[in-house]
Amino acid sequence: MYCPFCQHDKSKVVDTTKNATGGIRRRRECLKCGERFSTIERPILATPLVIKQDGTREEFNRDKLMHGIRIACTKRPVSAADIERLIGEIESTLQRIGKAEVSSRVIGDMAIQGLKELDHVAYIRYATVYLQLDDLQSIRTEIDHLLSEES
């Protein structure tokens, strides 16, 4: 592990904790410059290829999913830990499915369901793009559906 400050390759572990996604978070101190930094270790398990709507296939990209969900949660009371947990749940579900390929629709459905449980406004933001709600009437219908589920 290289120090992000001085690029020295020796550090000592100061603290170790497990995070919400099953990975290990380590607090490290560089033995050369004394700066502290954190690393996250998580197992690399096989995830299926994602079949896009146009039929192309690509590797599952955790960062791409995280980016979309973070945008939906911008300025909402959703913690980074909640977002990380949701991404981890989606990724572990994909790994447990055990298929070589999975439709992007399956991943989107898991993301939208998770957002619905986390924050309704973030859900509507994500749904506007994912469900292609392109007019006010369709957005209102989705909001009315959410409100009826709540009561």
pLDDT tens column, 29-58:
999 999 999 998 877 667 889 999 899 999
Q: Residue 29 has what pLDDT? A: 96
The SS3 of residue 5 is coil
| Residue at 93: amino acid letter | T
Q: Show me where the domains of the chain are located.
A: 11-41, 49-150
- Across the chain, mean pLDDT equals 90
DSSP letter for each residue of 47-71:
-PEEE-TTS-EEE--HHHHHHHHHH
pTM of the model: 0.68
Number of helices (H), then strands (E), in the chain: 5, 6
| Residue at 100: amino acid letter | A
- Using the predicted structure, report yes or no on whether residue 20 has a pLDDT greater than 70: no
Beta strands in the chain (DSSP E): 11-18, 24-30, 36-41, 49-51, 57-59, 101-103
Q: Residue 72 has what pLDDT? A: 94
CB 142 within 8 A of CB 133: yes
Q: Residue 99 has what pLDDT? A: 86
CB 119 within 8 A of CB 73: yes
Per-position b or e across 127-136, b if 16+ CB within 10 A of its CB:
beebeebeee
